[in-house]
Structure 1
Amino acid sequence: MTEAMLQELVITRVFDAPRELVWRAFTDPDQFAQWFGPVGWAVPRDTVDMDVRVGGHQRFTMVNDEDPGMTSPADGTFSEVVEHELLVGYEEAQGVPGLPDGTRITLRLEFHEEPGDRTRLVLRQGPFAPTILSGAEEGWGSSFTKLDALLAR
């Protein structure tokens, strides 16, 4: 796979909640464990460890609901943090289809205030091989459905 074939995932989503609440859902380990992961996957609270600052980390493990032996660990490092506005981090790819091990996958989350106490989130993540881009987009969409439910409480 050539570098030119790799793509970045971009998702814009508006949440019916104030920016501070959406930010907290991404940065508070208790809340993060309640919504992250596509439907059919869970993030046990005891696997979540976050140090939300430049140079800090975010570690967790997604566990498949039907087969708990099927897991997906994540170990990212924060490179930019602006409270309630911006989270940028990266992880070194290991076993990601279409990417050489060691490729840096970056995640950028921008939190924008919208009228009516709503929040527009702009997510950029990649690079990804085109063959897994739609799966990543579907996974985020499924996770965001769970986040909507958490924010509605």
Structure 2
Amino acid sequence: MSQATAASATELVITRIVDAPRAAAYRAFVDPDQLAAWFGPVGFTVPRDTVDIDPRVGGHLRFTMVSDEDPAFTSPSNGTFTELVENAVFEGTEPVPGAEPAVLRLRVEFHDADAGGTRLELRQGPFPAEIAEMAREGWLSSFTKLDALLAR
């Protein structure tokens, strides 16, 4: 169940309820095995050997998404954590070489929801307007894989 809106022309906001407790949802973002299992839109995978997470403020999150259709097409990510509160907040920044603005910020908050679920509140940006919709679709697609992982 998702709701996605643009808070501004450049900030992506997505609220999603997942059927798992906050601790399990948070762990899916910081555990390398779990992140590799769900991250990336359908049609992309994140090979486990590309995932390197140092989950602390000032630590890093590095991985590479690989196209299932064309493995030569990859999208590396290299972020730095700016705030981590276990089972509550996952926040970081990532440089975007050659783009304006040059730094992308991601913040995910984890809140209790009905029936033992978790409400994820994701904010990411700023994006150029033409990229925001593609990023929204990517997250929504990724979240279908997160739902499947958390259902196990």
Partner residue of 1:38? 41
Counterpart residue type for residue 72 of structure 1: S
Per-residue deviation at 1:115? 2.2
Cα distance in structure 2, aligned partners of 1:147 and 1:57: 21
Please list the CA deviations of residues 105-130 of structure 1 after superposition, one character each: whole Å capped at 9, or x if unmatched.
00000000112110000000000011
Give the SS at the match of 2:145: helix
Cα distance in structure 1, aligned partners of 2:138 and 2:147: 14
Per-residue deviation at 1:6? 5.1
Please list the CA deviations of residues 4-60 of structure 1 after superposition, one character each: whole Å capped at 9, or x if unmatched.
x85100000000111111001101000000000000000000000000000000000
Partner residue of 2:139? 140
Per-residue deviation at 1:66? 0.8
Give the SS at the match of 1:116: helix
Instruction: Specify which of 47, 53, 58 is matched with residue 55 of structure 1.
Output: 58
1:68 aligned onto 2:71: yes
1:88 aligned onto 2:91: yes
Cα distance in structure 2, aligned partners of 1:74 and 1:132: 16
Instruction: Specify which of 6, 27, 31 is matched with residue 28 of structure 1.
Output: 31
Partner residue of 1:127? 126
Runs of at least 5 residues in structure 1 that lack an aligned partner in the other structure: none
Q: Percent identity?
A: 61
1:13 aligned onto 2:16: yes
Give the SS at the match of 1:7: coil
Q: CA RMSD in A?
A: 1.2
Question: How many residue pairs were aligned?
Answer: 145
Runs of at least 5 residues in structure 2 that lack an aligned partner in the other structure: 1-7
TM-score, normalised via structure 1 length: 0.92
